[in-house]
Amino acid sequence: MQKVVPVSSKGQVVIPAPMRKRLEIGRAVVIKEEGGMLLVEPSKTMEESFGAGGEEMVEVAVEISKARRREVESESS
């Protein structure tokens, strides 16, 4: 399927609903430039990326993020 869509002054485009549904696109996509073309792919959630145990990996990532935030805040004090 091919569709021409407008590009806003901010560079935003709308992916038509039938394409989003068929490709199961949620809240994020990956955009790559290859050979002078833009490729748009559905983004995987952390659970999908890590498979079984994905929920635990999300928890670990959240804890790492919190720890890093505390480090940055203490460095700026």
Q: What's this model's pTM, rounded to 2 decimal places?
A: 0.54
- Greater confidence (27 vs 40) lies with 40
Rg of the chain over all Cα atoms, to the nearest angstrom: 18
* pLDDT tens-digit map of 42-72: 887 766 666 666 677 778 888 899 999 999 8
Contact 15, 25 (CB under 8 A): yes
Sorted by sequence, the CB contacts under 8 Å of residue 61 that are 6+ apart come out as: 46
Question: How confident is the model at residue 54, as a pLDDT?
Answer: 64
List the beta bridge partners of residue 44. Answer: none
For 15-36, how does the pLDDT look when each residue is reduced to its tens digit (9 = 90+)?
Answer: 999 999 999 898 889 999 999 9
CATH number for the domain formed by residue range(s) 1-43: 2.10.260
